[in-house]
Structure 1
Amino acid sequence: MAIALAFSTFQLWTAALSPLPSMVVRSVHVGFLLLLCFTLLAERSGSRTARLSGWLLGGAGFLLGLYHWIFYEDLILRAGDPSTADLVVGVIVTVLVFEASRRLLGLALPIICGLFLLYAFFGEYAPYPLDHRPYDFAQVVDQMFLGTEGIYGTAIYVSSSFIFLFILFGAFLERAGMIRLFNDLALGTVGHTQGGPGKVSVISSGLMGTINGSGVANVVTTGQFTIPLMKRFGYKPAFAGAVEATSSMGGQIMPPVMGAVAFIMAETIDVPYVDIAVAAAIPALLYFATVFWVVHLEAGRHGLVGLPKEECPSALGALRRDWYLILPLAVLVWLLFSGYTPMFAGTVSLALTALVVLGRPLAGSIPVSALRILFWVALGVGAASFGRYGIAVIALLILLLVLGCLLFAGGRATLVICRDALADGARHALPVGIACALVGTIVGTLTLTGLASNFAGWIVDIGQNSLLLSLLLTMLACLVLGTGIPTIPNYIITSSIAGPALAELGVPLLVSHMFVFYFGIMADLTPPVALAALAASPIAGAPHMRIGFTATRIAIAGYVVPFMAVYSPALMLQGDSYAATVYVAFKALIAIGLWGGVTVGWLLGPLNWPERIVAAVAATLLVVALPITDELGLGLSALFIGWHWWRTRSRSASRSAA
């Protein structure tokens, strides 16, 4: 707890005041990650030897994380000519990062990164065209440890600046009761409808994705409520777990926060974060519309009903009760879309969240008018007083509220909530940060040896004959890598290789990176590993492989929409006309509607196999976007829907007559 609190405090200090050079912040950030990782896992082990080794390794990692801070000027002066001490410290830190990743994330990612590191040392002996010029030991260590292309590269920069703040932001809102608000809103709006519990899962997890952007975290939080609820109302355990896993993974593509990859993407391709959020908006809505639609069809197929309306909470009542929790999220959206940096927007929104949470227990102890004035002062400072002075005023208000919480009833419990939120933020940032640090060795190898250019050229050569084949190869690479590594390293590896190649083939840069991003996410739903399904398995009481296969069926839009965006970039608002965007979104809705019927076997009624084949062909024609395929797809869709409606109505009439 103490380490996690110190970690969060350091990140807030550096985000609010920027007192240290970026390289120092990155280094200390990695030091904290190593310290927290080794000690946390050691304390969980229960073994005295494991505890001792964990504290020794964690302490060594943290102390070496201060190396760039202590010797900052010396390292600049001898840049490109590392000393013996630099090399020794670099080797130890690299080994510690590998070991922390092995303990926390498993063997897959360290093995892949280790192979890239070996290639940096011995790639000169590889056959053409994979060989590169020789690099000595000092050059490789310098690349991995002393520069900004290795461990302390873009990924760890984003982790230490943007990602940590937004994870902390989500942790505060969760502790403040945002999960309850989202669940009550979902129950109040769709809980009583056909298959209501499944739809509650989709809406609740989608809303949670707007604040934390973590798929697995969503599964283990909202899933504790939604999965048992779905099972109670007739959904099969595997389907219930798959709905929650699919909905939760969609949180990574749901603006405004999205997943950590979105921040890395913004830095990688040098575009404002808000552009990525805007581009992701329509595909994210299509993704959740697909899941919602499949849940509705599955409920119709099995005759599943919703909750009794009297058991559903009032959505308006939930908003009246917890309306203040939405305000920090609204301010975050406003700041992001007003052109402010994600760091500043995250800092101010996090500060406002703390003000709102700390001010809540004072409501019963001071006049409402005074509380209202205090809130609007805080909101005004956060929205209008930019720079260090504004942050200082917010900090002063937080301090006053902390003192107030010590005096009024219920205040101490609120301080415990804030303390736990700070600790949760640090713990939740741990796997993300460790993955970002380790994957820096891959980026360092790619930039040092030029390996990415070789693979990109290969994909370009293939794409000259078939763009679709290049896209399929990229998709397979993402899915295969995703069986063993998290979304962040998956995106960094694949985008470094395939992103530039797809751009050279005429795919807009943002769309090509979003294509890789989407399939990196879908890898967490795709067996054999399917991390999101693995997290849902113990809650649902079903094998994770069965959940994974069901999730891939439910999330069909996640596999189709990226291809549609490549052939019709207007889907991601990359076209010149809003009319084109509306048209492509309309096509996508029809396509995913048909695909949903195909996968479930139900639309207005049961679908036989010939009907499912016709529907699949019509949906595929709408995706391909070749000459006259749209016309054929729309025409075939109209004929199919008309035929199915007539057949279903005739069957119903026959049953009524009987």
Structure 2
Amino acid sequence: MGTINGSGVANVVTTGQFTIPLMKRFGYSSSFAGGVEATSSMGGQIMPPVMGAVAFIMAETINVAYIEIVKAAIIPAVLYFLTAFWTVHLEAGKRNLVGLAKEDCPDPWAAVKLRWYLLIPLIGLVSLLFSGYTPLFSGTVGLALTVILIFGAAVISGASSTVVRYLFWVLLGIACTGFVQFGVITFFAISALLVAILLFRRNNGGVLKMAIQALADGAQHALPVAIACALVGVIIGIINLTGVAAEFGGQVIAIGEDNLFLALFLTMITCLGLGMGIPTIPNYIITRSLAAPILLKLGVPLIVSHMFVFYFGIMADLTPPVALAAFAAAPIARETGLKISMQALRVAIAGFVVPYMAVYSPALMLQGGTTRDVVFVVFKAVVAIGLWGAGATGYLFKDLNPFERAYVIVAAALLV
């Protein structure tokens, strides 16, 4: 959900309505349930292949193939969610919580079997992106397939014959391949034909009304992002005209010549500050303009430097005092935003640690190095995450005493 809608905060208020009460019902504390929801929702922004549209902007900005952005993001994203799953698992062990019985769990494959065709636009979008087509072209085709799928399902909904239904979809699929020869005009023609049929039938199940409402909703959701991007241009202009960027960058670079870690830390603080209260896309645009060039001058690989600032711009929504994602979860969890934010920091530790590891070991983002290097650094990261989760939760097979918790936390830090 979060990777598609492009907003971690919106994801919290959408999916949190049922995930947070469900976690509380099974025995998790209100603050922990809110923290898990906030952490998971923000993780959608860093999980390929969509990444809340930032992957497309990053590919255009640094002029690299989209597939390269996805490759760099995949391992850190998996580690991020592994941390969340592991922390939830340990918290359940500490509280002796038991989940739903197997027979009571919903069957995801039954849902896929029933509505498998809804995956076609997403599969088409990702396939085109990986084939080297531009994000604009791929997005247009994906959107067109979605429209045709919705209208086509409405047109054939009254057919009782299975043969007729299969024949309809086969012919519609063949018609869609015409875009190879005639371009996107093919999709407009097919959509217009389907709309005409629905208008002629009159009893169309309200699909056309929903389509018009979807257009209005899309415009409403696009406006805040457009306004934010316009304001970002003003902010970047002020930063450049006043010389703040050059002065700040020069100071950090001077520090980084003697101490790269301190330079990374200062860059992290800057990104957390710039990212507070700003949507994902303008967040990245601001942080990449000010902080990414600094890391690049310090010798950090291009994609790694942009990923570093992007990650910490995202983490600002989990970090006090603003922590928009945590405060969005507060009314649902019926807990203070600050307590939820502190729990989110504990659950999302990989989001703060992995970017540092990637700078010192770019193989973590598949930037250079052999397969052995990648496997080794991922192994270290997984072990460190496992130990950190145990130390932060105070449980690993059994309750840990203060000395054992300190021991595993120090061991995790040394691995990093």
Q: What's the TM-score bracket when you normalise by the shorter of the two chains? A: over 0.9
Q: Percent identity at matched positions?
A: 60
Cα offset, 1:429, TM superposition: 2.0
2:102 paired residue among 291, 304, 309? 309
Whether the aligned pair in 2 keeps the contact of 1:406 and 1:412 (CA below 8 Å) is no
Distance change in 2, residues 1:315/1:486 (3 Å): closer
Whether the aligned pair in 2 keeps the contact of 1:261 and 1:491 (CA below 8 Å) is yes
Partner of 1:164: none
1:319-398 alignment runs, 5 A limit:
319-366=112-159, 367-379=161-173, 385-386=179-180, 389-398=182-191
Cα offset, 1:573, TM superposition: 1.0
Distance 2:303 2:175 in 1: 35
Distance 1:585 1:383 in 2: 42
Distance 1:621 1:410 in 2: 67
2:266 counterpart of 1:481: no
Deviations 1:392-441 (A, max 9, x none): 11112112222333355862322233223222222222222211110101
Q: TM-score, normalised by structure 1?
A: 0.60
Distance 1:384 1:586 in 2: 47
2:295 paired residue among 478, 502, 508? 502
- Unaligned 5+ residue runs, structure 2? none
Please tell me the root mean square deviation across aligned C-alpha atoms, in Å: 2.1
Partner AA of 2:332 in structure 1:
I
- Helix, strand or coil at the partner of 2:313: helix
1:536 paired residue among 329, 353, 364? 329
- Helix, strand or coil at the partner of 2:296: helix
Partner of 2:46: 253
Deviations 1:60-90 (A, max 9, x none): xxxxxxxxxxxxxxxxxxxxxxxxxxxxxxx
2:363 counterpart of 1:567: no
Partner of 2:2: 209
Cα offset, 1:308, TM superposition: 2.7
Cα offset, 1:343, TM superposition: 0.6
Whether the aligned pair in 1 keeps the contact of 2:178 and 2:186 (CA below 8 Å) is no
2:88 paired residue among 278, 292, 295? 295
- Unaligned 5+ residue runs, structure 1? 1-207, 624-658
Partner of 2:198: 405
Distance change in 2, residues 1:456/1:297 (3 Å): same
Cα offset, 1:311, TM superposition: 2.4
- Helix, strand or coil at the partner of 1:583: helix
Distance 1:279 1:569 in 2: 9
Whether the aligned pair in 2 keeps the contact of 1:361 and 1:409 (CA below 8 Å) is no
Partner AA of 1:561 in structure 2:
V
Distance 1:475 1:382 in 2: 47
Deviations 1:35-81 (A, max 9, x none): xxxxxxxxxxxxxxxxxxxxxxxxxxxxxxxxxxxxxxxxxxxxxxx
Distance change in 2, residues 1:346/1:308 (3 Å): same
Partner of 2:343: 550
1:30-179 alignment runs, 5 A limit:
none
Q: TM-score, normalised by structure 2?
A: 0.93
Whether the aligned pair in 2 keeps the contact of 1:361 and 1:411 (CA below 8 Å) is yes
Partner AA of 2:107 in structure 1:
S
Distance 1:329 1:582 in 2: 30
Partner of 1:618: 411
Cα offset, 1:620, TM superposition: 1.3
Partner of 1:84: none
Deviations 1:375-404 (A, max 9, x none): 3455556567347x2311111211222233
Cα offset, 1:272, TM superposition: 2.5
Farther-moved stretch of structure 1 (478-487 vs 297-306):
478-487
Farther-moved stretch of structure 1 (321-330 vs 577-586):
577-586
Partner of 1:31: none
- Helix, strand or coil at the partner of 1:472: helix
2:232 counterpart of 1:443: no
Distance 2:173 2:369 in 1: 37
Which one has the largest radius of gyration?
1
- Helix, strand or coil at the partner of 1:524: coil
Distance 1:517 1:264 in 2: 12
Distance 2:164 2:329 in 1: 45
Distance 2:129 2:65 in 1: 9
Distance 2:106 2:58 in 1: 40
Distance 2:228 2:132 in 1: 29
The number of equivalent residue pairs is 415
Q: Which is bigger in relative contact order (C-alpha 8 A, separation at least 6)?
A: 2
Cα offset, 1:483, TM superposition: 3.0
Distance 2:401 2:137 in 1: 55
Deviations 1:259-309 (A, max 9, x none): 243333223222223321221111111111111111111111111111233
Partner AA of 1:403 in structure 2:
A
Farther-moved stretch of structure 1 (211-220 vs 339-348):
211-220
2:222 counterpart of 1:429: yes
Cα offset, 1:502, TM superposition: 0.9
Whether the aligned pair in 2 keeps the contact of 1:455 and 1:498 (CA below 8 Å) is no
Distance 1:341 1:379 in 2: 22
Partner AA of 1:308 in structure 2:
A
Partner of 2:254: 461
Distance 1:384 1:401 in 2: 16
Partner AA of 2:83 in structure 1:
T
2:189 counterpart of 1:415: no
Distance change in 2, residues 1:526/1:376 (3 Å): farther
Cα offset, 1:513, TM superposition: 0.9
Distance 2:27 2:230 in 1: 44
- Helix, strand or coil at the partner of 1:323: helix
Whether the aligned pair in 2 keeps the contact of 1:361 and 1:410 (CA below 8 Å) is no
Whether the aligned pair in 1 keeps the contact of 2:326 and 2:337 (CA below 8 Å) is yes
Deviations 1:571-598 (A, max 9, x none): 1111142332222112111111111111
Cα offset, 1:447, TM superposition: 4.5
Distance 1:338 1:277 in 2: 13
Distance change in 2, residues 1:375/1:467 (3 Å): farther
Distance change in 2, residues 1:245/1:383 (3 Å): farther
Partner AA of 2:205 in structure 1:
R
Distance 2:61 2:239 in 1: 14
Distance 1:267 1:372 in 2: 40
Distance 2:163 2:202 in 1: 19
Distance change in 2, residues 1:363/1:261 (3 Å): same
